Amino acid sequence: MKKFLVVFASMLLLLAALTACNTASPTTSTEEQAEPTTAETSDKEEVAATEEPAPTEEPAPMEEPASSEAKSDALTLATTTSTYDSGLLDAILPVFEEESGMTVEVIAVGTGQALALGEQGDADVLLVHARAREDAFMEAGHGTRREDVMYNDFIIIGPEDDPAGIAGMDSASDALAAIAAAEAEFVSRGDDSGTHTKEKSIWESAGIEPSGDWYQSIGQGMGATLTFANEEQAYTISDRATYLARTLEEPDFELKILVEGDPILFNPYGVIAVNPDKNDLINAEGANEFIDWIISVPTQELIGQFGEDKFGAPLFTPDSEAWRAAQ
């Protein structure tokens, strides 16, 4: 019996030992996996220290916007149809382009549209002819610089038979009043241009608000207005330069100059640099270079000579401050 008890106790001790070994083994294995030995850690740090860092690619240089490149060699000029239709710009702009290295993109519209393009920041420089509106443009901060450039005059033209009897009148207001009284056909540009602005001021001075079938407002430029008025044998107002250019191009153009010389028909032109704060695309440097060029004495001489070879007299009179000082 005593021997049996000894054997039984030995078996219990053996079983307890086996249980303890099975419990400790997983714990030890987990700790070995979670915490590498000091030797293993040192080896990994040594390898990491000797490895060269992967080269990083330098970012590709950012391309300049196409418009930024154009800022240095292109200039957008919004101007009146009269400077374009008369041929003046064709005569003088190649000189500027050669001297400056810039290419000038011309947008020929009425003065109102040209000023609107400037206000929207869609042009760099303006060449227009409506002084009161130019002053308002500057006062509103849309432009940074305005200079006088030149002047010519407006004329009232019409059919040779002159049904309203205005030929030779000294007063443009009286002439328009006579046209309205006779209800003789009159063609208005109706396009918010400098010419249209002048026409409205003359009607206002005559105390008349034109209306009726005889008054045709067509919303077109000077060239198209002259064509329409000639076809209809109607009266209209034109700047002298565009009218003379048309008679040269079309010898059978029939409308005649009937009223001229009234001070109200004076037609000055100004050049304006658009405010570059409107957007980053405005070529302010080019605009000021153009202004310096067009008001300079050599360019003013070109303007004063334009038309002499064809008409025996210039179509525009130079009027910049530099020109006046040189006379």
Q: Is the pLDDT of residue 30 over 90?
A: no
* CA pseudo-torsion sign 254, 255, 260, 265: negative
For residue 38, the model assigns a pLDDT of 41
In tens, the pLDDT along 239-268 reads 999 999 999 889 899 999 999 999 999 999
Cα 297 to chain centroid distance, Å, stands at 27
Beta-strand pair 215-217/266-274: unpaired
Q: Is the pLDDT of residue 45 over 50?
A: no
Three-point CA angle 69, 71, 72, nearest 5°: 85
In tens, the pLDDT along 293-315 reads 999 999 999 999 999 998 888 99
Three-point CA angle 105, 107, 108, nearest 5°: 135
pTM over 0.85: no
Q: How confident is the model at residue 141 (pLDDT cuts 50, 70, 90)?
A: very high
In tens, the pLDDT along 58-91 reads 544 444 444 434 445 999 999 999 999 899 999 9
CATH superfamily of this structure's domain 69-152+268-326: Periplasmic binding protein-like II (3.40.190.10)
Across the chain, mean pLDDT equals 85
Domain ranges, ordered by start, for the chain? 69-152+268-326, 154-265
In this structure, what token pair is assigned to residue 126? 């303006």
Q: Is the pLDDT of residue 139 over 80?
A: yes
Q: How far apart are CA 165 and CA 184, in angstroms?
A: 10
69-152+268-326 against 154-265: fold identical? yes
In tens, the pLDDT along 153-211 reads 999 999 999 999 999 999 999 999 999 999 999 999 999 999 999 999 999 999 999 99
Complete DSSP assignment for 29-43? HHHHHHS--HHHHHH
Q: Is the pLDDT of residue 19 over 80?
A: no
Residue 100 CB partners (closer than 8 Å, separation 6+): 286, 289, 290, 293
Helix ranges (H only) for the chain are 2-34, 38-50, 66-73, 81-85, 88-100, 111-119, 131-139, 172-182, 194-205, 222-232, 240-249, 284-294, 297-305, 308-311, 321-326
For residue 185, the model assigns a pLDDT of 98
For residue 26, the model assigns a pLDDT of 38
User: 């060239």: which residue's tokens?
Assistant: 223
Q: Is the pLDDT of residue 142 over 70?
A: yes
For residue 311, the model assigns a pLDDT of 87
Q: How many beta carbons lie within 10 A of that of residue 201, not counting itself?
A: 15
Q: How far apart are CA 157 and CA 159, in angstroms?
A: 7
Q: Is the pLDDT of residue 12 over 50?
A: no
Q: How far apart are CA 102 and CA 94, in angstroms?
A: 10
SS3 track for 286-305: HHHHHHHHHCCHHHHHHHHH
Does domain 154-265 fall under CATH 3.40.50.620? My reply is: no
Cα 26 to chain centroid distance, Å, stands at 81
